[in-house]
Amino acid sequence: MIEVEIDKNSGFCFGVVNAIQSAEKELHHTDVLYCLGDIVHNSLEVERLKGLGLRTIGHEEFTRLRDTKVLLRAHGEPPATYEFAWANGITIIDATCPVVLRLQQKIHKCFRETQGDNTQLVIYGKKGHAEVNGLVGQTEGTAIVIEKKDDLDKLDFTRHILLFSQTTKSLEGFLEIVEAIRQRIEPQVKFEYFDTICRQVANRLPGIKAFASRHDKVYFVAGEKSSNGKILFEECLKANPNSVFISHASEITAPLPAHLRRIGVCGATSTPKWLMEEVAAHLRKMNE
Ligand code: SF4
């Protein structure tokens, strides 16, 4: 008999829970609510909320709206979004995660304080990611985004550097960037870095490793677009090579090998609990 266990520490982080609750609360007394970008990087949860009236829009469609309500998701937005809303009668339901908001404020403060002194504000993150766009917006577009060590050639090591991180990056990757800058920066030049990684993701790494290693096979459930899903799945794979990334239960079609005894189901901070439960139920059914 195969035992199927869901990782109790997987699932939505408080930032996502808060954004979804804000949307659901608003949708109790309005038929349609616009959301700028996917409220969570999980298409099935986006579909569920669409059924309640949540309409996901992009920035282009946003600029055509007037006199309506728009929800901003946990990733946050640059100041230009708020300015546009204010000028066009759009009421913002702001579900920016408090962790992201604090980071935006910190970057904005550093930007104001260093204006004119040649300091480079650097963000370790994914170029074009919504959160990163919101962070770069705090610097009037001047911050330099670094995705990997190769990008460091973009920096001038004779000028001061302040380094921040997108909240969902891995601590390991961030520390590698810190070390690489330390090695290249000229003596007497100021280099300060701020570990702004959200512990909702980082703290899950040891837990998910332990969970993966005590199962014969692991199904990691997440949307393709989830950044933290990629990081957490990599940890799963390191701990248990018999780990599989899926987005939905229907992707499990092959019969379960007879030697399996313990199967684990886990996911990202954007994976709804109900989806992991569906996967577990599917596995149990296959095992009947
Ligand atoms: S991962 Fe952290 S920063 Fe990102 S939404 Fe969740 S709680 Fe907020």
Q: What is the pLDDT of residues 225-245, one digit of tens each?
A: 888 899 899 999 999 999 999
- What are the beta bridge partners of residue 164? 123
Reading the block at residue 4, the tokens are: 């199927």
Ligand 1 center from residue 99 Cα (angstroms) = 6
- What are the beta bridge partners of residue 55? 34
CA distance 35 to 93: 9
Ligand 1 center from residue 194 Cα (angstroms) = 17
The DSSP 8-state label assigned to residue 169 in this structure reads S
Tens-place pLDDT, residues 187-218 = 999 999 999 999 988 889 899 999 999 999 99
Q: What is the pLDDT of residue 255?
A: 86
The DSSP 8-state label assigned to residue 129 in this structure reads -
Catalytic residue positions, numbered: 131
Into which CATH architecture does domain 14-97 fall?
3-Layer(aba) Sandwich (3.40)
Ligand 1 atom closest to residue 16's alpha carbon, by position in its atom list:
5
- Residue to mutate (ligand 1; options 9, 13, 166; most atoms within 8 A of CB): 13
Ligand 1 environment, Cβ below 6 A? 13-16, 74, 97, 99-100, 167-168, 198, 200-201, 269
Asked if the domains at 14-97 and 99-197 fall in one CATH topology, the answer is no
pLDDT above 90 for 19: yes
More confident residue, 258 or 117: 117
- Nearest C-alpha to atom 7 of ligand 1 is from which residue? 15
Ligand 1 center from residue 236 Cα (angstroms) = 20
Q: Tokens 């609750």 correspond to what residue?
A: 21
Mean predicted confidence (pLDDT) in 168-186: 95
What CATH fold (topology level) applies to the domain 3-11+201-286? Cobalt-precorrin-4 Transmethylase; domain 1 (3.40.1010)
CA distance 136 to 164: 11
- Our separate counts of H helices and E strands in the chain read 11, 12
CA distance 211 to 205: 10
Tens-place pLDDT, residues 145-155 = 999 999 999 99
CA distance 208 to 19: 24
Domain ranges of the chain: 3-11+201-286, 14-97, 99-197
What CATH fold (topology level) applies to the domain 99-197? Cobalt-precorrin-4 Transmethylase; domain 1 (3.40.1010)
